[in-house]
Structure 1
Amino acid sequence: MQGIRLGIMMLLGIRGVGHYARNCIIRPKRRDAAYLQTQLLIVQKEEAGIQLQAEEYVLMAVAAYLDEIEEVNANCILMANLQQASSSGTQTDSTPVYDTDGSGEVYVYSRGAVY
């Protein structure tokens, strides 16, 4: 899995509760037709009970790993957006900040605490 770096979201104590920093260096996914065809053939071989070669196991692991990285990246982006919204000058005390889909809200107070 050389060349793939895990996206990391860290909670830092320097700015108080609720401060998030992100370090999401992520290799872009390859989802072209050849890649998807290879993945399909590997899964079909596995379901048929045919023993896979080491390279095929690595390809399956990398695909699963990239899916996990995409989820971590989405979470990093959400937290960065929430942090940016909560630290912008337009926010007042106890103003709700909403998720990107509007399904949830958190309240940001003047000391930077997020509830």
Structure 2
Amino acid sequence: ENQIRCYNYRGVGHYARNCFVRPRRRDVAYLQIQLLIAQKEEAGIQLQAEEYDLMAAAANLDEIEEVNANCILMANLQQASTAMFQAMF
């Protein structure tokens, strides 16, 4: 089944732009989805309608850049904490 799915709360039957529920909290999963979509767009890969909706929900390109920066920061922090933990033991 190929059903329309809302990225705001993963409901079925409408797109995020037509959603009546508040958008999802901007947690790690949300940021990862945003990053993947932004990378896909930069690579010139055709986005699906739902992905365009999610990009529109991000409001503007500045937020996408902030998402990228946050994901890079999270990865760097994770690597640093792993290295620090390994050095301790």
- Tell me whether the two structures share a fold, i.e. TM-score over 0.5: no
Relative CO higher for 1 or 2, CA cutoff 8 Å, sep ≥ 6?
A: 1
- TM-score category, normalised to shorter length: 0.3 to 0.5
- Which protein has the bigger strand share? 1
Provide TM-score, normalisation by structure 1.
Answer: 0.33
Provide TM-score, normalisation by structure 2.
Answer: 0.41
Larger Rg: 1
